[in-house]
Structure 1
Amino acid sequence: MKNSDYNYTGSYKKAIYSGTFDPITIGHLDIIERAIKVFDEVIISVAKSELKKPMFSHDKRVEFVEAATKHLKNVRVVGFDTLLVDLAKDLQINTIIRGLRAVSDFEFELQMGYANSSINHNLETVYLMPTLDHAFVSSTIVREIIRFQGKFEHLVPKEVLKCM
């Protein structure tokens, strides 16, 4: 391929990375740091997700994400309580970032990507993997450890510990 074969417009590329972040983990932060190497701006959207019965309030989860990402340029945090495709449309974003830790994540994420695309055909989903060191970390695991008063400090960004 020649350089002239690429369709690079030089336009500003934004992406959205959504989740409940209950709480945000070092695995999430790993994905965010990878995403800002690819996109000019990454919007972290914290879902209210009352059906999941989160451990932490929506406001607290937004606070956690803001604290964990304050050192990163070109990252913005928003809370939302709509369909992700509607938020993406409102923010004029056509790329969704999703993290994949294992093959078990892939089937669900693939279905969600197809569902989002069926609603908005211009929406693309980009899948990023965390480093191997963070591949086992999930909010579910962190919540269980917290619930049983175990050691979890190494699994969440240090800024989040200050907010807790």
Structure 2
Amino acid sequence: MQQRICLFPGTFDPITMGHVDVINRAVSLFDKIVVGIGINSSKQPMFTVEQRVNWIHDIFKGDPRVEAASYTGLTIDFCKQINAHYILRGIRYVSDFEYEKAIADMNRMLAPDIETIFLTTAPAYSTISSTLVRDVIRNNGNVRMFVPEEVKW
């Protein structure tokens, strides 16, 4: 039987409690979730790829079903490389769904054998985004309630 491998792509700059919530709820649906850190040359991240990969390893060290990797290029090409037939996306608001559906539709046209699965975030985490967390960090604010304890810089 083929393993059910799912890619959860994003920048995870940094990984938030919302991301962790989605992964924890999705892990029972798949044999393996690869948290894929997409490298986009047009974006300048706050944290290095190595830092973000290490955080994911530390957060999920007790669960062999969760792995971390970085990739460049199309998400569907990385899915093929790791033999993932599913893409996981977290949805916070209706506006997220509209944006994510457009990407899912494009991916489906390019790779009809790869399904996109949407999970809504728990209400407690729906306002947390990596962008907002970075803004708080830049302004020397306390982000402890928004990121896992393993996220240190």
TM range (shorter): over 0.9
Measure the CA separation in 1 of the matches of 2:2 and 2:72: 29
- Over the matched positions of the two proteins, sequence identity in percent amounts to 34
Supply the AA of the counterpart residue of 1:46. Answer: I
| Structure 1 equivalent of residue 8 of structure 2 | 17
Tell me the number of residue pairs that the alignment of Structure 1 and Structure 2 aligns: 153
Larger radius of gyration: 1
| Structure 2 equivalent of residue 5 of structure 1 | none
| Structure 1 equivalent of residue 148 of structure 2 | 157
- Runs (5+) with no aligned partner, structure 1: 1-9
Residue 65 (structure 1) shift: 1.8
Residue 71 (structure 1) shift: 2.6
Deviates more, 1:94-103 or 1:64-73: 64-73
| Structure 1 stretches of 4+ moved >4 Å | none
Quick check: 1:34 aligned with 2:4?
no
Q: State how 1:38-57 maps to structure 2 within 5 Å.
A: 38-57=29-48
Relative distance call for 1:114 and 1:76 in structure 2 (3 A) is same
User: Of Structure 1 and Structure 2, which has the larger fraction of its residues in helix?
Assistant: 1
Quote the RMSD (CA, aligned, Å): 1.2
- Runs (5+) with no aligned partner, structure 2: none
TM-score (norm 1): 0.88
| Structure 1 equivalent of residue 89 of structure 2 | 98
